[in-house]
Amino acid sequence: MKNSFSPDTEGNSYRHRHHRWLWLAGLLVLWELIRRISGVNPLLMPPLGDILMELVHGIFKGMLVRRWLLSMALVCGGLAAGTVLAMILVVISSTGRGASSFLSLISSLMHPLPGLALLPLVILWFGTGTPAVLFIIIHAVLWPIFVNLESGVRSLAPAWTGYARILKLGRWETFIRISLPGSFPHLISGIRTGWARSWRAFIAAEMVFGAVGILGGLGWQLFESRVMMDTPALYSALLVVMLTGMAMEEIILARWENRVRRKWGEPGDTGMAAE
């Protein structure tokens, strides 16, 4: 197995993430300095202390936490559903040239299409509730995972497909036992892209559709704060949205991808399976 991941690479990645968090702290300090020096209207640029106090208040009161949990549950649920659907499409794509050509066309059409562009149709089909938001999330997740995973399956060394023929495995069993493990680095790359797209799609969709569930999620928190002109609450919700996305990317998904690369090699290492 070819493995291009080294301890030095891991150390550089850790330092890079550490520096990014330091830059974030510096930006917060810069915010406060600009606000004090420029004398800008506090309604437009509230004090950092007010934003942090609103954040702490929302956490201890529980409302912000519940909305965050609802947002994460919907996005993670849509991410899981989109991943499973992408796997099914990859298996269908492997059944023949016709299926592969058709799904390639569909992915080329749908992959660059923003989920919000589908809003008129989604409202007609599902209304403006939770199913509509889930549809938007799954659309955002499905295509990057499908494209990455199919690319990984196609890049496998011929020896892998030879094993399937020797063992007389069916298409689905071949995918689960051979193709999926061999293309795992591509899958993780697709999930990272899918997560970022799904998080943005959920926040935007909820601001358009309205509250999901009884309390709503972070998108509804942003919309509600804007309507009430409560800018400290607005900025605190934005901070939670950004920190959640950054934490998922830097702490969870990046580390997961690094572990996969150490074990399986880089996504482009087509010969790793045959060694």
Q: From CA 213, how far away is CA 85, in angstroms rounded?
A: 25
Decide which of 97 and 158 is more confident.
97
Query: Are 6 and 270 in contact, with CB atoms under 8 Å apart?
Result: no
For the domain made up of 7-274, the CATH class stated in words is: mainly alpha
DSSP letter assigned to residue 272: G
Neighbours of 242 (CB within 10 A): 11
- DSSP helix/strand/coil, 44: coil
Task: Give the closest residue to 137 by CA, choosing from 226, 205, 188.
Answer: 205
The pLDDT-based confidence of 13 (bands split at 50, 70, 90) is: low
* Residue 11 in this model has a pLDDT that exceeds 70: no
Domain map (residue ranges) of the chain: 7-274
pLDDT higher than 50, residue 27: yes
Residue type, 268: G
The yes-or-no verdict on residue 85 having pLDDT over 90 is yes
Distance of CA 211 to the CA centre of its chain: 21
Distance CA 128, CA 209 (A): 5
- Check residues 166 and 1 and name the one with the higher pLDDT: 166
Give percent helix, percent strand, percent coil of the chain, each to the nearest 5.
80, 0, 20
Q: Is the dihedral of CA 156, 159, 162, 164 positive or negative?
A: negative
In this prediction the pTM is: 0.80
Torsions phi, psi for 213 (to 5 deg): 80, -160
For the stretch 115-151, pLDDT in tens is: 888 888 888 888 878 888 899 999 999 999 999 999 8
The 8-class DSSP code of residue 229 comes to T
pLDDT at position 68: 94
Question: pLDDT tens digits for 203-257?
Answer: 988 888 776 767 788 988 999 998 888 999 999 999 999 999 888 887 888 888 7
Residue appearing with tokens 């080329």: 108
